[in-house]
Structure 1
Amino acid sequence: MKLAMDKVISKEMTVRAASARYAVPKSTLGDRVKNLLEGKEATAKPCCSDNKGTFSRTFDRDQEEILYNHVKALDSQLMPLSKPEFFKLAYKLAKKLKIKNRFNKETRMAGKDFYYDFMNRHLYLRLRTAESTSLQSAVGFSKDKVNIFFDKLTELMEKYNFEPSRIFNADETGVSCVHNSRLKVMSVKGKKQVGKLTSRERGRNVTVLLSINAAGDQFIPPLFVFPRVRIDNDLKKDAPPGSTFDAQMSGWITKDGFLKWLKAFILAQISPLPSTSSVKYKIRENRSEKSEILTSTPYKNMLVEKKALIEEKKAKEEQRIKIREIKRKIKKEKDNAHKSNADKQKIKHPQTRKLASNAMKLVPRKRLNCNIPSSSSSRATSPSTVPTSSEITNCIICGESFDEDWIQCNTCKGWAHEQCANVEDTLFYHCDLCKKKK
């Protein structure tokens, strides 16, 4: 009661919280706190010495503190007490201290009333489900060991600056093939025992080794170690893609099996592949050269000549591209002209074909433009102005000798490709050179 009143007056707890914490009546606690705040007298007897009729508590405050500290010490050592064990401990403590008690002498255990009264006064204690922990894990997972681990981890992170996608955490566990669920099922009323089929337990679990990175986007296929001599293909069904399987009579991971599983960390076998940096490296095509400050040296003259040669090559290439574009344009216009002018006169210059040795060679001829226009059926050609294919005749415009349609200038009697001339009236054709002379 005194502790509850102190907590309420110091405003550390409310009346309701202090009443539940120290197991005192809420109305009584409120009245006594009110009297103290108004300056009236209020009695506050120790809670463990309160006489509740003919019954009194077995342990006083100091003795209960000893029992409470002992329970916490066992819990910190991973040896927590169960409910029956706590009953036995309370009985032994009462016998050791030679305290008069009302515990059961036959079972040598304290009663449930003592347990619930003790738990109500010590709200930091709760009945929990313990998790099985091996001795190796308990010894290795100590504060000193954990500090050593984090010191080494900090040193490596500062040295190599690992990304989260490059940090993997691996752990092994034992998986039982027996389903131990305690779910309630529907059965016939009055049946003494309800059974449920499950797989046979041989006393050994299947060892599974799992690993995932700190970013959570890369999962390494697990390693399964079965307690058998050979691996059956039926055991591999429905396993994650890329899983590793090993068979050991002991069911434990061996060195060879672990090294086999480590091959899964090869970059080409990780799925999905880790995200790489988006930096693109450009391949250097030209050889490296020295950089110097030049004023008037032979090396400068060499660089100037080299630059002039590069510019000359570039100019020739541009001229070649322009000529190619002009020819393409001329050919396109020629195709359009052929469609519109079906009556245009042409003399095809056929290609010279290689026939048999005894066969006659065909002599291609070029078209002749006469000064006097005539109909297409009565055109006359002069043998002196029509060269044969044996003569070397070049176009007066492009200077090339392709086998295409030819037309003749009426002034200079020179021959030109019809595409190079680019005229519609081929009968009265005058080249550009003759027009300039005029």
Structure 2
Amino acid sequence: MPAHRQAYRCALLHSLGDPAVTGLDGSYQYWPDGLLQVEDGHIVAAGDANEALPYLPPGIEVEALPGRLIMPGFVDTHIHLPQLGMIGAFGEQLLDWLNHYTFPCEARFADPAHAQDVARRFIAELLRNGTSTALVFASVHPASVEAFFEEALRLGLRMLCGKVMMDRNAPPELLDGPDHGYAQSRDLIERWHGRGRLHYAVTPRFAPTSSAEQLEAAGRLLREYPSVYLHTHLSENRQEIDWVRQLFPERAGYLDVYAHHGLLGPRSVLAHGVHLDGHECAQLAAAGAAVAFCPTSNLFLGSGLFNLPQAERHQLKVGLGTDVGAGTSFSILQTLNEAYKVMQLQGASLHPFKSLYLATLGGARALSLDDRIGQLRPGHEADFVVLDLAATPLLEYRLRQCRDITETLFVLMTLGDDRVIERTYAHGNRVHQRG
């Protein structure tokens, strides 16, 4: 018997592709009575239990999980570590919100002990909500990245993070300068990128807080370390877009600022994109870049409604982002709840299988990690979540009325939250157990 083979029996569901490309029927795989086999951190097999059980090697213990549903771990393509302590801050739109809440909160990360405490709490919240991979903004302080990666490494997580680069239009204590920001980022890349299951993301906050010299330095890092990521913000708020035009009058627009400095590529993830036009979507798609759709924060800050159908027409990669702390929940399920409403307000619809794709495989593709995570596919890393279909009395009653997996999935994404996540696994290890 293999030393570390484990098997779990319950319903299994995963995404096979984007429903906008494959059609709904070809976009998912579902086994009402499934068997998931895991060995040495990887998925060995997933399929119908009755077909698989006769062929199991002798001695393998099968854990039955009745009333449960196993899905791939959720992927959060945009979230802020330093903003944990200000989630739910009242009464501002983006630029004032940054000055009044975000920058003071991030200044506290000059203290490494504070950074370590928040990193532990932050990662625990991710796992409690079923998120096994996230692309994370740290603060301008290298200690914030160190604390996050140390905790992620300890737990064997596949995570992405980067130090904010910011050299203007922010409090003096949060500015790093082009050369200093470059040197600190380079040192962090050398120390952490590719270590365990960790990836580094070059992270200029957004164009207004980086000079042309600093954006050029960010582009130089991408050229020198071609396997790292680029993580920043784009076209979130109309006032922000106007500000970028004033700061970079020589450029054709917000996106052109990043393109000019060599920041667009297959590992570039740009958060929000609320006010992109068709030409900009085409430019991003041609570069292989991705947009993080952050419905909760876009509604909370009054930024606008992301045009997902437009992104689909241009075959632009899109992942889902909670964007804590402007986002008000770590829960990808609750974020999908808000995404559905954003589509409704635009006269469009977000099908449950599109939601499944965005939360798992779509996020993995946005991060160029779909060869490793995002599906229950043999050979993939065993990052998965166990959902309790009777987590609350209301949920249990409502799900009894559902006729098929489509209805079940939609109810989970409207009524579900962290209480639904019974377990989270990373690389085959249980890293969260409810209660």
- Asked if Structure 1 and Structure 2 have the same fold, meaning a TM-score greater than 0.5 normalized by the shorter chain, the answer is no
Q: TM-score range by the shorter chain?
A: under 0.3
Higher strand share: 2
Q: Could you state the TM-score of these two structures normalised by the residue count of structure 1?
A: 0.18
TM-score normalized by the length of structure 2: 0.18
Greater relative contact order structure (CA < 8 Å, 6+ sep): 2
- Greater Rg over alpha carbons, structure: 1
